Amino acid sequence: MNINEQAPAKSTRGLHIEATCEVVWRLLADINNWPRWNPAVSRARLDGPFAPGSIFRWKSGGSSLVSTIQDVERPTRVAWTGKTFGVTGVHVWDLKAVGTGVLVRTSESFDGWLVRLFRSPFQRLLDKALEEALRSLKTAAEKLGHGRAGTAA
């Protein structure tokens, strides 16, 4: 599954993280603990296993969302779709081991009547959200990665 390239708002961002794919994957797959590493997520609950077809409910940026996992390729890819009032989203995370770390790429599209009406504000919101999520993921993953390697505090 890929994002909707025809959507009025879409964004892709990438970042190199000094951790293993497994460390980054554990953070992404542990939906119930997203609020611990991502300040934009105030609540998250996965109903069922981390597998295609499972639903999770979460709150981010003041919006309550219901999302469905669509694609899981451990430890390199996860994709989901989600809905909130007037907006349908598709979000994809891709992880690729590179050197001593992992290149994390995240893409998302927003579609729906509300996005078509307010395309520019939604585009800015989406760009900012992906950048902030990547920075938060990097901080958490590198902290976990260093702790796992036995680095002295």
Could you read off the pLDDT of 79-104 as tens digits, one per residue?
A: 999 999 889 999 999 999 999 899 99
pLDDT at 12 exceeding the cut of 80: yes
Which residues does 105 contact at the CB level (< 8 Å), separation at least 6? Answer: 12, 13, 14, 93, 94, 95, 96
Residue type, 100: T
Q: What pLDDT was estimated at residue 62?
A: 85
Domains of the chain: 9-146 (3.30.530.20)
Q: What pLDDT was estimated at residue 35?
A: 97
- What angle do the packed helices 21-29 and 119-148 form, to 10 degrees? 120
pLDDT at 10 exceeding the cut of 90: yes
Q: What pLDDT was estimated at residue 147?
A: 53
Span between the terminal Cα atoms of the chain, in Å: 41
pLDDT at 148 exceeding the cut of 90: no
Q: What pLDDT was estimated at residue 151?
A: 34
Q: What pLDDT was estimated at residue 67?
A: 97
Q: What pLDDT was estimated at residue 61?
A: 83
- The tens digit of pLDDT for each residue in 61-74 reads 888 999 999 999 99
pLDDT at 113 exceeding the cut of 80: yes
Cα–Cα nearest to 75, from 128, 141, 4, 136: 141
- What percentage of the chain carries pLDDT values higher than 70? 95
